[in-house]
Amino acid sequence: MNYKIRISEVNKEDSKAKAYATVVFGDSLVVRNIAIVEKKDGQGMFVSMPSQRTSEVDEYNNPVYKDIVNPITSEFQQEFSGAILEAYEQKKAGTLDKDGFVVGDDEGAPEFTVSVTPYEREGSNIRGLASIYLEDSFVINSVSIVNGRNGEFVSMPAYKASTKAKAGESLYRDIVYPITKEFREQLHGELLNVYHEKKERQVNEAKENVATKDKSKQEARENLPFR
């Protein structure tokens, strides 16, 4: 898989994260906020994927966090983390190319598949939860199908920024997003198509279940002994 890594160093001595990586897959899809963190013993660095807090807690009542993006296979995990750490070392040494650290030489957007689960909860405008799989090597979670004024649309993973808008409203910044119109239309179109297919299947199955129950009730009444 072809991707490019850019590094932004953190200029705070007390920060656990020493830098953040931005990865561009196939010049089509951006993944931001991948942290390069110093180990507790100070002996080296490790790569930490962007995550979000869940409603779950562990055995010590601490909040549980779930990765928003992560490599799927151990092979790609090693390659991906290794490439990010190498890019970081080059950035520190001043040898990182201005275009970033490039891995692979394939051209074009990455191949992908999607998984969508229709979802409805009272008071929520979320209609589906989805994941995107890049070439069976990298997964993007926390993608939502949202019901808006003009119908459903795709909402990519984002985080709440520390700054606010002029009107005092909270600002959210995307963690993952397409950077070309063509790939955005392709990706969002596939997500919405799969959502509508799954939703239609759910509706049809619900109708079939109701029809089956009605038929069973009718047969039960017909089989009652005559009095």
pLDDT in tens, 160-206: 877 776 777 778 899 999 999 999 999 999 999 999 999 999 888 87
Q: Which residues are 24's β-sheet partners?
A: 4, 30
Please answer whether residues 166 and 93 qualify as being in contact, where contact means their C-beta atoms are separated by less than 8 angstroms: no
Give span(s): CATH 3.30.1120.40, the chain: 3-103, 112-219
Tell me the residue type at 68: I
In three-state secondary structure terms, 73 is: coil
- 145: its two tokens: 């199908």
142-164 per-position pLDDT tens digit: 999 999 999 999 999 998 877 77
* Adjacent-strand bridge partners of 128: 118, 145
Identify the bridge partners of residue 133 per DSSP, sorted by sequence position.
Answer: 113, 139
In eight-state DSSP terms, residue 211 is H
CATH of domain 3-103: 3.30.1120.40
Separation CA 88–CA 45 (nearest Å): 10
Residue the block writes with tokens 């705070």: 12
Contact by Cβ (8 Å): 109, 186: yes
Between CA 213 and CA 199 the distance in angstroms is 21
Per-residue pLDDT tens digits for 71-88: 999 999 999 999 999 999
Q: Assess contact for 72 and 48: CB atoms under 8 A.
A: no
Q: Compute the distance between CA of residue 127 and CA of residue 154 in angstroms, rounded to an integer.
A: 10
Superfamily of domain 112-219: Stage V sporulation protein G (3.30.1120.40)
Q: Per the structure block, which two tokens stand in for 198?
A: 């799954």
**pLDDT at residue 30 greater than cutoff 80:** yes
